[in-house]
Chain A
Amino acid sequence: MKLAGLKSVENSHDESVWAATWVPATETRPALLMTGSLDETVKLWGSDELVLERTNTGHSLGVASVAAHPSGLIGASASLDSFVRVFDVDTNATIATLESRPSEVWQLRFNPEGSTLAAAGGGSASITLWDTATWGPVATLPIPRPEGPKPSDKSGSKKFVLSVAWSPDGRRLACGSMDGTISVFDVARAKFLHHLEGHFMPVRSLVYSPIEPRLLFSASDDAHVHMYDSEKKSLVGAMSGHASWVLSLDVSPDGQALATGSSDRTVRLWDLNMRAAVQTMSNHTDQVWGVAFRPPGGTGVRSGRLASVSDDKSISLYDYS
C-alpha cells in the first residue's frame, strides 16, 4: 500500500483551505472534490486533473466544514458564523439555508442513507439532526452533563463538540469534544449510549471504518490516533507518530489504510493491519486541515485517490494503491 503524488494545486483558494470532501459520482459525471476555505468560498474540482469546476460564494466568514450527500447531488457547507448553506452540486442553486445559533455548527456529515444531516454543535454540547427532505431540525442529541443540570456553568464550553461521524450502517453517531471524550449515540432511539475515553485534548476528526461498523477512528490534538470498539467502549489501539495535533483523518474505502493530516505539516498513511505509519508525505508547507479518500463508484474509476488540503492554500491529490 502506498501513496504517489499525482497533482498539486498551489493557491487553489485565496486563503487557507480548511475542509475537503468528495462528492460521489453520479450517472452523468465522475466524483468531484469539494473544498472550503477561509476565503469564504466553496470550490468544486474535477478529479485527477483538479480542474476548477465552480466557485460557490455566499458565506460571510470562513468555511469550516463541507459535506456531500451520498447521492452526489447535494452539498452542504458551514461557516464560522454557524450558517449552513445546502446547495445543488451541479447548479449551485441554493436548496436551503439552515440558521443555527452562532458557534453551534462545527462539522457536518450526511448519514449513509442520505436522509439526515448531522451537525456537531459546539458550545451546546449536542448534535443537531436535520431532515434532508424538509430541511427542518428533527432532533437534538445532547451529551449528558456530568453533574446535574446547571444552565449557566462552564461545563458546557468544556464539552464543546468539534466533530461528528456516522457508522456505516447509520445506526450510531459519534461526536468528539474539546476535552478529549467521544460520545456515542443510538440514532434510532435518539439516546446517548456512552463515552469513549483516552484522549485528553480536543478530538477534531472522527471516522468509522467502512467495513467494520463498530470500529471508530479518532484524531486528537494530543498527536495520537485512537481506534475504538465503539460498542464495547474499549480502546482497541493507538497509533502515534505525528509531531503535533492530528487535525483530520479518513479511512480508505477498502478499510485497510488510514490517512491523517496534522499540524506538523505532513500527511501520513497508516497500515491498519500493522498499526504503523507506512508513508509520510511532506509536500505541504503548512498544517494539513483535511484528508479525504475518494469513494468508489462512477464509470471506469478503479484506482483509489486521496486528497489533502492545507493552510498553505494548496490541494494535493495522491494515487492510493
Chain B
Amino acid sequence: MEKTEEEEESEEVVLRRLEESVNAHPDDPSLHFDLGVRLWENGGEESNNKEKAAEHFVISAKLSPQNGAAFRYLGQYYSGVSLDTQRGLKCYQRAVSLNPDDLQSGEALCDLLDRDGKESLEVAVCREASEKSPRAFWAFRRLGYLQAHQKKWPEAVQSLQHAIRGYPACPELWQALGLAYQRLGRFTAALKSFGRAIELDNTNVFAMIESGNIFLMLGSFKEGVERFKQALEISPESVSARYGLAFGLLGLAKAWINLGAFRWGASLLEEASEVAKASTHLAENMSCIWKLHGDIQLAYAKCFPWMEEGQGLEFDVETFNASILSWKKTCILAAISAKCSYQRALHLAPWEANIYTDIAITADLISSLTMSDGNDFNDWQLSEKMALGALLLEGDNYEFWVALGCLSDHNALKQHALIRGLQLDVSLAVGWAYLGKLYREEGENQLARKAFDCARSIDPSLSLPWAGMSADFNARDSSPDEAFESCLRAVQISPLAEFQIGLAKLALFSGHLSSSQVFGAIQQAVQHAPQYPESHNLYGLVCEARFDYQSAAAAYRLARCAICSFPDSVPKSHTRDISLNLARSLCKAGNAIDALQECEDLKKEGMLDVEGLQVYAFSLWKLDKRDLALSVLRNLAASVSAMEQTSVAAPVSFICRMLYFMSGLDSAISSILKMPKELFQNSGISFIVSAIHTLDTCNRLEPVVSSSRRFLTSYEEITEMHFLIALGKLVKHGTEFCLGFQSGVAHLRKALHMCPNSSLIRNLLGFLLLSSKEWNDTHIATRCCNVDCTDYQNKGGLKSASEILGAGAVACYAVGNSSPKFSFPSCTYQCLNGHGAIQQLQKYCNLLLFI
C-alpha cells in the first residue's frame, strides 16, 4: 500500500504534535506510549526509529508499570531489534503477567523459551496464564500442544478443548485433539475431531491418515479406504496412506470373502496388491509392507474362484482340465508371490516371529496346491520347521503353538502343540476346535466331541466346532435336521468348500436339497473345489431338486470331467452314480436321446442297476421304442424280485405306471394281478394301484387295493387318497356323458368331516359343486374353499381356491340373474357374493403381483 503524500504529511504533523505534547507533559505515560507506538508502527525498518520508540516505551513503562502493551513492544524490541533475548524474555513475561490474554506476547515468549529448549518453563508460563484468565486461549492452545508432545493425553484433551472455544476454526487444534483422543482409546471422539480438522482444512493429510487408521481399527474398512484415497490425492507419495489403503482393501476383501463374494473379494485384492507393490517401491526396506503384500497375495491364493468359462453342456475333458489348471496356476502363483514377499519381510526383520508362521502357512498352502508329496529331501517339513522357528523366538505365544498344531504332519506333535497352546491359554477356542478335529481324525469320537463342545461354548462364532458337531451326527444320536442346522451355521460363519460340500451331503439326507442356502453354498463350493467330482455332483443334485434339469445335467457332466482328471482316486461306483444322475436329469429335462445314450453306455459297462433300468425304460418309451422298453421292464421286474422289501416301492410303482402307459389298462391290471402281493405293501404303490383301479370299471383290483390301503399312515396320504377315491367315484358312478358328481360330492363331504382343514379336499369339493349341472349349490362352493397366501404354491389339486372362488361368484351372479326383470340381482341364498368375493380376489391378485 502506497501512502499518499498527504497522509505522509499528516503523519508527520501528528508525530510532531505528539512530540510536542510529550515535551510539554513529560510525566504522562500514555503520551509516551502513543508516541512510541507511532514511531514503532510508522517508523519503517530504520533501527533508530525503533530505538527512539523503545526509549519512549521505557519511559512509559517506568511511569505506568501496569501497561502491558508497553512491555510487549519492549519485548519485541529487545528480542527482535537489539537481540537481547534475556531482556526480551523479561519484558514479555511482564506483559503476560499483566495481561494474560495477550496473545502476541504469550506466543512470542513461548517461542523464545522454545528456541532455548526450556520446555518446562514454557509449560509453566502457559499454565500460569491459563489459570489467571479463562480467556487466555493462546495459553491453552500452547499448553495443549505441549502436553500432547509430552504424551500427557488426558491433560492435553482438557487444554485443547478449552483452546478450541477460543479458536473454533483452527484445524491444528482439532487435529491435536483427535490425536489425544485416539491415544486415549476414545475412537469415536477422535474420529469427530479429525473430521472437523479435515472440514476446516481439506488438505490435512495427517488427520485423514489417522482417521483412516481408526476406521481400520474399528473394522469400518470402507470408510477407512475412502479416507486413505482422499489422503493419497493430496500426497500421492505418502507411504503410510498407501499402506493404510492396501490394508483397508485387504480387510474389505476379507469381509466380502467371508460373505461368499469371492470374485469381488479377488478384484479388491488385486487392487490392494497393486497399492502395496507400489508402496514397496517407495520404501523397500520396510518389512511390514512386504508382510502386508504377502498377506494380500495369500488371501488371493485362497479366495481366487474357479470360473466356468464355457457355460452349457459342451464342456469336454480337455477344456475342463485346462480351466482347472489355469485356475490352480493362478492360485499357486499368488501363493509363491506371497512366499517371496514374506521372505523379503523376514530377511529385513528376521527377529519378527510371526513372519516365520506366515511362511509356514504359505509353504503348507503351496504344497497342498501342488499336491507334492515331499519328494525333496527336506521339503516335507518346511512348514513345520518354520512354525518351530516362530516358537523358538516367542515360545509363550499360544497362537504359534496352534499354528504348529495345524501345520505339523505328525499327529503326536500336533496333539502336543495344541495342548501346549491350551496350557498357555485355556480359553483358546481355536485350539480346542483343532484338537477336536485331530481326535476325530484319529477316531477318538468321545474326546473329539468334548473338545468341540468346549470350543463352541467358548466362542460360538467359530465355524469349525459347528462343522465338527454336524460331522459326527451319527455318534451324537442327533437327527439329520440338527446336523444340517449346525453345518449350515458353520457354512454361514466361514464359507469353506469342505463345509459347503458337507452341507450339501447333509441336505441330501435331511431333505433340504432345494433350500436356497444349500444352493448358494454348493455354488461357492464349486468355485473353490472344482477339481472334486463330488462338488459338481452335489451341485447337480441341488439343481435337480430345484427343477433346473439343464444345469443339473451340465453339473453332472463336469463331475464326470473331474473324475476323468483323477481316474485313480475315484471308485467305479461313483462314476456309475454320476452317469446315472446325468441320465436321469437329461430324461427329466426332456432330452431322451442323450439319456438313452448314457444308459446304453452304462449297460455296456454292465453297471445298469434298478434305477438305471427305470431311466432306460422311460427314455426308450419316450422315444417310442415300445418293445425295447417292455423288455427292459421285464429285466427290471426280474431284478426287483431279488431286492429287499424296503427299497422295492419305487421300481414296482414305476413298472405299474409304465405298463399302464405302454400296454393299456387291461394288460397293466393283469400284470399287477400276477405280481406277488407282498410288493404292494407300501403307500406309494397304493396310490398307483388305486389310480389304475379307479379307471377299471370291472373292479378287478379290489383286493389288491384294499390290502395296500392299510399302509397309508400319514394325514396327508389319507386326504390324498380320499381325493383319489372321490375322483374314482366320479368316474365309476358317472355315465358316458356326465360324471357322477353326486357320489363324488357325497364322498368328499364325508371326507371333509374327517379332515376339516384339508384345502385339497375343500377345493375339489368346491370344484365339483360348481361343475355339477344343477347349479343349486354354487353358494356353498364359495364357502367351502378358503384362499390363503400359501395357496399359490399348492399344485396338488385340480383347481386353485381362487379360481373356484371366482367361478363361484360368477355362478352366483348368473343364477341370481335368471329373472332379468330384477335390476339388482343377488344370490337367492344371500351368501358371500359380489363385494366379498371380489374383494378377496383383488387381494389375492395383489399378492400374486408382489410374489
Residues of A within 8 A of B (CB): 15-16, 18, 38, 60-62, 64, 80-83, 97, 101-104, 106, 122-124, 152, 154, 156-158, 160, 162, 178, 244-245, 263, 286-287, 311
Contact = CB atoms under 8 A, between A and B. Distances in A.
B359 interface: yes
Contact of B388 (A101, A286, A311): A101
B351 A102 contact: no
Contact of B392 (A83, A103, A154, A178): A103
Nearest to A151: B395
Nearest to A179: B351
B284 A102 contact: no
Contact of A123 (B285, B346, B382, B392): B392
Contacts of B347: 18, 38, 62, 64, 80
A62 B343 contact: yes
Given A123-B351, A244-B285, A263-B285, A104 B392 contact: yes
Given A60-B378, A101-B388, A160-B393, 11 more contacts: A60-B382, A61-B359, A64-B347, A82-B385, A82-B389, A102-B386, A102-B392, A103-B356, A103-B389, A244-B285, A311-B284
Nearest to A156: B393
10 closest pairs, A vs B, by CB? Answer: A102-B389, A160-B351, A103-B389, A263-B285, A62-B343, A123-B393, A102-B385, A60-B382, A157-B393, A157-B351
Interface string B711-738: 0000000000000000000000000000
A286 B389 CA distance: 29
A38 B340 contact: yes
15 contacts: A15-B340, A38-B343, A61-B386, A62-B343, A62-B347, A81-B385, A102-B356, A102-B388, A104-B392, A122-B350, A123-B392, A152-B395, A152-B396, A160-B351, A245-B285
Interface size bucket, B side?
A: 20 to 34
B353 interface: yes
B388 A61 contact: no
Contacts of A244: 285
Interface string B349-368: 01101001001000100000
Contacts of A15: 340
Interface of B: 284-285, 339-340, 343-344, 346-347, 350-351, 353, 356, 359, 363, 376, 378-379, 382, 385-386, 388-390, 392-396
B173 to A, nearest CB: 35
Contact of B378 (A83, A156, A286): A83
Nearest to A287: B284
Contacts of A152: 395-396
Nearest to B382: A60
A156 B395 CA distance: 11
A287 B353 contact: no
A156 B394 CA distance: 9
B311 to A, nearest CB: 38
A60 B362 CA distance: 12
B346 A124 contact: no
A229 to B, nearest CB: 28
A101 B356 CA distance: 13
Task: Pick from B346, B351, B385, B394 the residue with the most CB of A within 10 Å.
Answer: B351
Contacts of B284: 263, 286-287, 311
Contacts of B285: 244-245, 263, 287
Given A60-B376, A162-B350, A124 B344 contact: no
A248 to B, nearest CB: 12
Nearest to B380: A60
A103 B343 contact: no
B389 to A, nearest CB: 3
A160 B350 contact: yes
A97 B376 CA distance: 14
A244 B388 CA distance: 32
Contacts of B376: 60
A80 B343 contact: yes
A106 B388 contact: no
Contacts of A38: 340, 343-344, 347
Contacts of A178: 351
B403 to A, nearest CB: 13
Task: Pick from A60, A83, A102, A157 the residue with the most CB of B within 10 Å.
Answer: A102
A106 B353 CA distance: 14
Contacts of B382: 60-61, 81
Contacts of B344: 16, 38
A208 B353 CA distance: 31
Nearest to B286: A263
B372 to A, nearest CB: 11
Task: Pick from B284, B339, B394 the residue with the most CB of A within 10 Å.
Answer: B284
Nearest to A94: B377
A154 B397 CA distance: 11
B394 A103 contact: no
A80 B359 contact: yes
B448 to A, nearest CB: 31
A93 to B, nearest CB: 15
A286 B350 CA distance: 20
B343 A61 contact: yes
Given A62-B343, A80-B359, A106 B350 contact: yes
B626 to A, nearest CB: 67
B520 to A, nearest CB: 39
A162 B351 CA distance: 9
A167 B395 CA distance: 35
Contacts of A123: 351, 392-393
A227 B285 CA distance: 24
A157 B378 contact: no
Contacts of A160: 350-351, 393
B495 to A, nearest CB: 31
A79 B395 CA distance: 22
A81 B362 CA distance: 14
B343 A154 contact: no
Contacts of B392: 101-104, 123-124
A81 B353 contact: no
Contacts of B351: 122-123, 157-158, 160, 178
Given A160-B351, A245-B285, A263-B284, A81 B393 contact: no
Nearest to A162: B350
Given A61-B359, A157-B393, A244-B285, A81 B350 contact: no
Contact of A81 (B389, B394, B396): B389
Contacts of B390: 103
A64 B347 CA distance: 7
Contacts of A97: 378
Contacts of A311: 284
A15 B340 CA distance: 9
A103 B393 contact: yes
Nearest to A122: B350
B391 to A, nearest CB: 9
Contacts of B385: 81-82, 102
A287 B350 CA distance: 17
A273 B396 CA distance: 50
Contacts of B386: 61, 81, 102
A157 B355 CA distance: 14
B347 to A, nearest CB: 6
Contacts of A157: 351, 353, 393-394
Contacts of B353: 157
A106 B390 CA distance: 15
B175 to A, nearest CB: 29
A152 B285 CA distance: 30
Nearest to A62: B343
Contacts of B346: 80
Contacts of A104: 392
Contacts of B395: 152
Nearest to A289: B347
Contacts of A18: 347
A1 B363 CA distance: 47
A81 B384 CA distance: 10
A286 to B, nearest CB: 6
A82 B344 CA distance: 15
